[in-house]
Chain A
């Protein structure tokens, strides 16, 4: 059975800290790994990763994929209260079919 596991499930840090969110997967027919941010509404797309070792960056967020060890990390540096959200990892295993992890609830305290 295809599985995506995120850790930690919940994380509370202070503004300015750096955080690392983890995503491991066991998925047949892997095509890509995606990260989403979900605030009080719909998930919004952050990154798509298909190749090992190539870091994707967007401002203070970055992500990398290791296809040998079957995991990805999402880093957020200099966190701000606006980064508080649920971060979802998903693996595409067919034509746009996604299997999601449970999500990491990140809380940034001022």
Chain B
């Protein structure tokens, strides 16, 4: 069965370190998204991609970067981790219409703690 996976599921890192969170989908979806979820804020869009070599900034992109070298993967990099980036990170992908909407399928999430 097609799926979307994230790794690691939990990560503890120190302030200033570079961290990369992996997202892999096997649906062959063109569109991929990264969100962070914090108490009181719901989910906020970090970066998104509509296809290979395409990346775009979302509403909270500072301190994050992504690259899209193939259809299946959109890794999220925290260039220099900060305590404010402690959060739960969700990856999503879309490419199949569901009643006129390209439904986003979410991965299981990565809980990142920056100490």
Contact = CB atoms under 8 A, between A and B. Distances in A.
Interface of A: 4, 6, 32, 34, 41-45, 48, 50, 88, 90, 92, 95-103
Secondary structure of the B contact surface, majority rule: strand
B109 A41 contact: yes
B106 interface: yes
A100 B98 contact: no
A32 B103 CA distance: 12
Nearest to A48: B101
Contacts of A50: 100
Ordered nearest first, which 6 A-B pairs have the shortest CB separation? A100-B42, A42-B106, A100-B43, A48-B101, A102-B42, A43-B106
B91 to A, nearest CB: 9
B58 A96 contact: no
Interface of B: 31, 33, 35, 40-45, 48, 50, 58-59, 90, 94, 98-104, 106-109
Nearest to A1: B59
Given A95-B50, A96-B94, A97-B58, A32 B41 contact: no
Given A34-B101, A99-B59, A102-B41, 15 more contacts: A6-B42, A42-B106, A42-B108, A43-B43, A43-B106, A45-B103, A88-B43, A90-B42, A96-B31, A96-B94, A97-B45, A99-B45, A100-B42, A101-B42, A103-B42
A104 to B, nearest CB: 10
Contacts of A100: 35, 42-44
A99 B43 CA distance: 8
Contacts of A101: 42
A98 B107 contact: no
B98 A45 contact: yes
